[in-house]
């Protein structure tokens, strides 16, 4: 009898394992494919498999090393893939469903070990570079992978399938090798074919002294710096940009909920876009903004995260009720889950490309 029970248990456990044609879903644990005749518009076409390669994690992590893909489940995103051409028109490639490995999942076991942790503990100044064998790079902030509202939107895709319209026959081009797909991006500047290396870094382009006991936190201007050169100054009293009002549930990493229900102020983009407009595609691909308060506290954002958003919800320079106490501006981005990514006493925005 015991042997029969053990055999039945073994068969049951084996039935839970993925078999050929069954794809574990890393979110729900489901093990069956979606029926191509079901309600999903996204699963009616056949997938193209993309060739993978070795992938390594380096940089400021406790144990750098190769990623073993066998340890991970796959997730899915959908994406309308396009870029702007030289004349500013949309160059459409295709609409796709991608399946692959979430950057959130891949990096989660590689514990962050910041080289500047003794001076600046928060992970708000960390970013991620993904590189291929040709030396091409795309950049993501640590926050948009681990600390935003929508997890698992950046995949290294191993399968690709068309999303077909009803009335028109399409045959969108397919790739042959795996690639980075950033499903939160409006335009596909952060697509990267055949990624082979992921590098984790904390900001080290410039030193900002930490002083949390400032007698006067007010900053009358915000410097705009590009690669160590001061290229502009935002005058807090005379900044001309459309004002936007956001409602907020403001929640910090350390203290939890803060009763700050509304943020209002000028949009950031009109105040700095002239400094990146000459090469906007490359800025959206590998551009980084270090947003710094007068007290030295800083946040890292990718330029894609700030300005190349499919939801087109962009950051503002919020004006607090008591500027004399907390500085005239603080950056506020609704996509940030944590209040820690709303830098107050704003004094500098440092832009660079990796």
E strands present in 194-310: 195-202, 221-226, 229-235, 243-247, 250-252, 256-258, 262-266, 287-293, 298-302
Q: What are phi and psi of 175, to 5 degrees?
A: -90, 170
Mean pLDDT of 266-274: 93
Q: Let me know: does 162 contact 171? Beta carbons within 8 Å.
A: yes
What's the alpha-carbon Rg for the chain, to the nearest Å? 23
Three-state secondary-structure class, residue 148: strand
Position of tokens 């440092």? 350
> Residue 80 carries which DSSP code?
E
Tens digit of each residue's pLDDT (9 = 90 or more) over 284-338: 999 999 999 999 999 999 999 999 999 999 999 998 877 766 678 889 998 888 8
CB-neighbour burial class of residue 172 (10 A; exposed 0-12, middle 13-18, buried 19+): middle
Q: How many residues does the chain have?
A: 354
Tens digit of each residue's pLDDT (9 = 90 or more) over 330-350: 899 988 888 778 888 899 999
Tens digit of each residue's pLDDT (9 = 90 or more) over 228-250: 999 999 987 777 888 999 998 88
Mean pLDDT of 1-7: 49
Mean pLDDT of 14-29: 47
Strands 262-266 and 298-302: unpaired
Indicate the pTM of the whole model: 0.88
């Amino acid at each position: 009898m015991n042997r029969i029970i053990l055999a039945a248990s073994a068969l049951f456990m084996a039935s839970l394992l993925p078999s050929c044609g069954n794809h574990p879903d890393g979110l729900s644990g489901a093990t069956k494919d979606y029926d191509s005749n079901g309600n999903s518009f996204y699963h009616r076409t056949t997938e193209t498999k993309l060739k993978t390669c070795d992938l390594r994690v380096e940089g400021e992590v406790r144990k750098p090393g190769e990623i073993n893909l066998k340890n991970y489940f796959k997730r899915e995103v959908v994406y309308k893939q396009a870029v702007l051409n030289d004349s500013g028109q949309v160059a459409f490639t295709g609409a796709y469903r991608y399946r692959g490995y979430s950057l959130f999942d891949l990096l989660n076991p590689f514990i962050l070990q910041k080289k500047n942790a003794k001076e600046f503990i928060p992970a708000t100044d960390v970013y991620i570079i993904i590189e291929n064998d040709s030396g091409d790079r795309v950049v993501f902030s640590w926050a948009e992978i681990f600390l935003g509202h929508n997890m698992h939107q950046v995949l290294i895709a191993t399968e690709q399938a068309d999303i077909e319209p009803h009335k028109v026959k399409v045959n969108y081009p397919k790739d042959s090798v795996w690639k980075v797909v950033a499903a939160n991006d409006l335009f596909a500047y952060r697509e990267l074919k055949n990624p082979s290396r992921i590098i984790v870094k904390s900001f080290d382009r410039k030193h900002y002294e930490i002083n949390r006991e400032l007698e006067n936190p007010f900053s009358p201007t915000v410097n705009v710096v590009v690669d160590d050169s001061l290229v502009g100054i935002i005058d807090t009293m005379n900044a001309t940009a459309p004002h936007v009002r956001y409602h907020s549930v403001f929640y910090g990493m350390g203290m939890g909920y803060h009763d700050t229900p509304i943020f209002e102020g000028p949009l950031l983009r009109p105040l700095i876009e002239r400094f990146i407009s000459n090469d906007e595609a490359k800025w959206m691909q590998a551009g980084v903004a270090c947003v710094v308060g007068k007290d030295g506290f800083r946040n890292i954002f990718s330029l894609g995260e700030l300005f190349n958003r499919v939801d087109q919800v962009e950051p503002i320079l919020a004006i607090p009720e008591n500027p004399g106490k907390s500085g005239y501006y603080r950056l506020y981005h609704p996509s940030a889950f944590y209040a820690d990514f709303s830098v107050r006493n704003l004094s500098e925005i440092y832009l660079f490309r990796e």
